[in-house]
Homo-oligomer: A and B are copies of this chain.
C-alpha cells in the first residue's frame, strides 16, 4: 500500500478545480487571498477588506482562532471574529476563509466562513484532518513547519479519504537553520507537488518570509513556479498589528503587487 493515492495524478489526471461562488481555485485565474493575519476588530477587518477587494483579491483572509507559541500572546477574538468575517465578507462580496484549530470549531467556523484553513502547526493533527474530511467546505492545508512533501500529501490524503475532495495545499515556508528569514519558502516543492497531485497549490509569502519587503518578490516567484494562488497578509496599520505586523503589506503595497503580478501571470499562461 502506498502512503497516499487519492491525491495523485495517477488517481485523477486533470486538475481539481474548487468552486466557491464565482471563484474557481485551481483553474486558469490565479486566486489571491488577502487580509489581516488576525481579526482585531470589525473596523480593522472592514478597512482592510475594502482595500484588498479594490485591488483585486478574491478571498478575504483573517484568523479568529490563532495558534500562538506563548500562552501570553493574543489568541484571537474567537467567535466574535467569525461574525465580523461573515458581515465584512458579505459587504464587500468577498469569499472568506479562517483557521480551524480544533474539531469543535469546524461546525462553528463553517456557519460563518466559506473556506477552512489548517495551520502549519496542525498539519499533523490527524483527528482534525479526519473530521475535516466530513466537512463540505474547501480546506486550505498548510504544510507543516518541518513536514516533508510526502507527509504533506499524506495529510491531504487523510482529508480526501474521509470524504472531502476539496483540498487546497498551501506552501508557507519550512523551518531550516537560516534565521534571517522567518521560514525558508520551498518553491521547488510547489512545482514538484503540482506534478504529483491534481490538487490546487497556493503559496503564503507572508509567513514564508516574515519580511514585508520579500513578500512581493516571492509572490511573483510563486506565480512563475506554477502556484494557483497566493495567501497574503495585508494590514492598514502594521506597526500596531496584534500579530505579524512585520510581514504584512500596506494596502498601497498590495495594490502595486497586484498590478505587477499581472505580467507574471500572463507569462505562465494564466490571468489574475
Q: Which residues of A contact B (CB under 8 A)?
A: 1-4, 67-72, 101-104, 121-122, 124-128, 145-146, 148-151, 154, 157-158, 161-162, 174-181, 184-189, 191-192, 195, 208-209, 211, 213-214, 217-218, 220-226, 260, 263-264, 266-268
Q: Are B126 and A177 in contact (CB under 8 A)?
A: no
Q: Are B121 and A102 in contact (CB under 8 A)?
A: no
Number of copies: 4
Q: Are A154 and B266 in contact (CB under 8 A)?
A: no
Known contacts A3-B72, A69-B150, A69-B154; can you find 12 more A-B pairs with CB under 8 A? Answer: A4-B72, A69-B151, A148-B178, A149-B180, A175-B177, A176-B177, A185-B188, A191-B218, A220-B268, A221-B224, A224-B224, A264-B264
- A222 to B264 Cα, complex, angstroms: 12
Which residues of chain B are within 8 angstroms of A161 by Cβ–Cβ distance?
A: 71
Which residues of chain B are within 8 angstroms of A180 by Cβ–Cβ distance?
A: 148-150, 189, 192
Q: Are A3 and B69 in contact (CB under 8 A)?
A: yes
Query: Which one of B67, B126, B154, B157 lies within 8 Å of A101 (CB-CB)?
Result: B126
Which residues of chain B are within 8 angstroms of A181 by Cβ–Cβ distance?
A: 188-189, 192
What residue in chain B is nearest A260 (Cβ atoms)?
A: B267
**7 intermolecular pairs with C-beta atoms under 8 Å apart:** A2-B72, A71-B161, A102-B103, A125-B125, A150-B180, A181-B192, A218-B225
What residue in chain B is nearest A104 (Cβ atoms)?
A: B103
A270 to chain B, nearest CB (A): 12
- A16 to B38 Cα, complex, angstroms: 37
Which residues of chain B are within 8 angstroms of A3 by Cβ–Cβ distance?
A: 69-70, 72
Which residues of chain B are within 8 angstroms of A191 by Cβ–Cβ distance?
A: 213-214, 217-218
A35 to chain B, nearest CB (A): 22
What residue in chain B is nearest A155 (Cβ atoms)?
A: B69
A124 to chain B, nearest CB (A): 4
Q: Are A67 and B174 in contact (CB under 8 A)?
A: no
Q: Are B189 and A178 in contact (CB under 8 A)?
A: yes
A127 to chain B, nearest CB (A): 4
A211 to chain B, nearest CB (A): 7
Which residues of chain B are within 8 angstroms of A175 by Cβ–Cβ distance?
A: 146, 177
- A72 to B176 Cα, complex, angstroms: 27
Which residues of chain B are within 8 angstroms of A124 by Cβ–Cβ distance?
A: 67, 121-122, 145
